[in-house]
Amino acid sequence: SGLLTRSQTSAPTIRTLSSNSFSQNIPSCLWKLGRLNHVAIAVPDLEKAQSLYKDVLGAQVSETVALPEHGVYTVFVELENTKLELLHPLGEKSPIASFLQKSKTGGMHHICIEVDDIKAAMTELKKKKIRILSEEPKIGAHGKPVIFLHPKDCHGVLVELEQA
C-alpha cells in the first residue's frame, strides 16, 4: 500500500491548451498552410513497394509516372486522409539516387503541405530566413507549383509546399 500512496502523490500535472491560447501564438500571414497532401518515401525497388501497398495492404495504387524534370519516378498510394508518394530514381543525377546511396533500404524523403498562395509563402519565408531550394516554383507531380524548404531550416525535414 506504500507504493500506491507514493504513485498517487507523484502523479504528473497535465496541462491542456485551448484552441484560443494556441492560435494566439501564430503570427498572421498573407498565406495559409492547408492540409497534408502527401508523405514521400524513397524506395530502392519500386515494383516491390507498389506490391506491398497494393497486394499486401490493399491500397489503391497509381501507375508509375516519370518526372524527368525532377529526376524521379512517382507512384501515389491513396489513403483515406492523404497520400503516400513512392519515389524512385530516374537518371544518375536524381536526388533520390543520392538519398538511396545514404539510406540503402529507403525511407521517408519529404512531407508535402498545401498552401493557398505559394508566391506569398516564398516571399514571407525568405524574410524569415527559411531557405528555399529553388528560385521559382517548379511544376510537381500533381501538375501544380511546388517549392522545397531546406531541411536544416525545418528541423531535419525536407518540406515541400504545393499550391492548393
pLDDT tens digit at each of 164 positions of the chain: 455 444 445 555 555 555 555 555 656 778 999 999 999 999 999 999 999 999 999 999 999 999 998 999 999 999 999 999 999 999 888 999 999 999 999 999 999 999 999 999 999 999 999 999 999 999 999 999 999 999 999 999 999 999 99
The answer to the question of residue 120 being in a domain is yes
- How far apart, in whole angstroms, are the C-alpha atoms of residue 98 and residue 92? 9
The answer to the question of residue 19 being in a domain is no
| CA 50-71-137 angle, 5° bins | 110
The answer to the question of residue 6 being in a domain is no
pTM of the model: 0.81
Give pLDDT, residue 133.
97
Strands 65-67 and 72-78: antiparallel
Domain containing 48 equals 35-163
The answer to the question of residue 60 being in a domain is yes
| CA 19-23-25 angle, 5° bins | 135
Domain with residue 57: its CATH number is 3.10.180.10
Total domain count, the chain: 1
C-beta of residue 59 within 8 angstroms of C-beta of residue 78:
yes
In three-state secondary structure terms, 37 is strand
Grid coordinates representing 5?
A: 500512496
The answer to the question of residue 26 being in a domain is no
The answer to the question of residue 14 being in a domain is no
The answer to the question of residue 83 being in a domain is yes
C-beta of residue 78 within 8 angstroms of C-beta of residue 39:
no
- Using the 8-state DSSP alphabet, how is residue 64 labeled? P
Give pLDDT, residue 7.
46
- How far apart, in whole angstroms, are the C-alpha atoms of residue 161 and residue 118? 7
- Write the single-letter amino acid at 23: S
